[in-house]
Amino acid sequence: MPEAGRWWLGFDIGGTRTKAGIVADDGVVSQAHVRDTDRQPFEQVWAHLMEHVHEAVARADRSSLAGIGIAAPGVVEPGFGVRNLPGKVPGIEGYPMREELEALVGVPVRCINDGAAATLAEWRFGAARGYHDVVGLTIGTGIGAGAIIDGRPLATRNLAGGVSFGHATIERGGRTCLCGNLGCAETLVSANAVVGRMRDYVARKVPSTITDAYQHDPGAITFETLVEGVEAGDRVAEEIMHHFCRDLGATIVTAIHAYDPEVVVLAGGPLAQADHFLPQVQTYVDRYAFRYPKGRIIPILRAERSDHAGVLGAVARVMQTVTDSGPAS
């Protein structure tokens, strides 16, 4: 708990876990909490969230609570909640999260897409501090995204806000994505896509150290498996890594052409092995990105606040509302 001054409450609602934390003005997170909510209907998830709100308020100086932020997947309206999220968290669509929490606690509440939250967390508290134009990509089961333009989170009337960049077309005529598009970045560079490619080689019994190690348990394959294969000089692993670096580079180049950022921030589990692919991706971006001035380097940075990205980004969103002292955007 912050020793003095304002404090904020942040939540990150995911498909399998819900995270919570108390955040100070400087981004220090205390009383971090993670609850397994896999396969739970939103009614139960919301009940857990409300319990945490009551507990936090009971323990802290209630008068110093400045606001509550909620990060969630899908199409999110800051002043309402989730407007569109087919299937992932049953019951969350159309639930007035902001209205209910503000009525209960009496402080500003704002919601934000989880990918945008990760970008906002890095811009306000992490690797992208001090920059005005930022693109963030989170490599996970899908591709989360967000954009900061001229010192403000990108927002549109149709609630896109740059968060759908994982569905940018990178491979014309490629695989069908969950969104219905063909060749999305998500089908090529998400952790699930990379793992799926390795499992395909195993299923076809292509000679490889990966096939040897996982033919009886392909479900145990992870992104780290790929790195281990590359380190062992495995041809299949090297081929998959080459395609991953190329496709991630193409995704970032496309994001640069769309948003013209000063920096790009990458987050997600694979970044633990970033030394094995980030230099190649930076080289690709340096070669193919069209930017001004010519030859300007657009650094690809590793996220610094991944452990609490959703919580911090949600709090940063409500901080912005309090600072602006205006209606939700």
Q: Is the pLDDT of residue 39 over 90?
A: no
Helices 97-105 and 42-59: crossing angle in degrees, nearest 10, is 30
Q: Is the pTM of this model over 0.85?
A: yes
Task: Kindly report the number of other CB atoms within 10 A of residue 248's CB atom.
Answer: 27
For 108-131, write each residue's pLDDT tens digit.
Answer: 999 999 999 999 999 999 999 999
CA distance 37 to 16: 5
Q: Which domains does the chain have, with CATH numbers?
A: 7-114+307-324 (3.30.420.40), 127-303 (3.30.420.40)
For 196-246, write each residue's pLDDT tens digit.
Answer: 999 999 999 999 999 999 999 999 999 999 999 999 999 999 999 999 999
For 296-309, write each residue's pLDDT tens digit.
Answer: 999 999 999 999 99
Band the pLDDT of 264: cuts 50, 70, 90. very high
Tell me the range of 2-6, 132-136, 179-183 where mean pLDDT is highest.
132-136
Over residues 19-48, mean pLDDT: 93
Residue among 151, 115, 125 nearest 304 (CA): 125
CA distance 240 to 236: 6
Instruction: Show the tokens assigned to 75.
Output: 């199409």
Over residues 237-256, mean pLDDT: 97
At 80, the amino acid letter reads F
Question: By 3-state DSSP, what share of the chain in percent is helix, strand and coil, each rounded to 5?
Answer: 45, 20, 35
Please enumerate in sequence order all residues whose Cβ is within 8 A of that of 309, keeping only pairs 6 or more positions apart, or say none.
12, 117, 118, 121, 122, 138, 267, 303
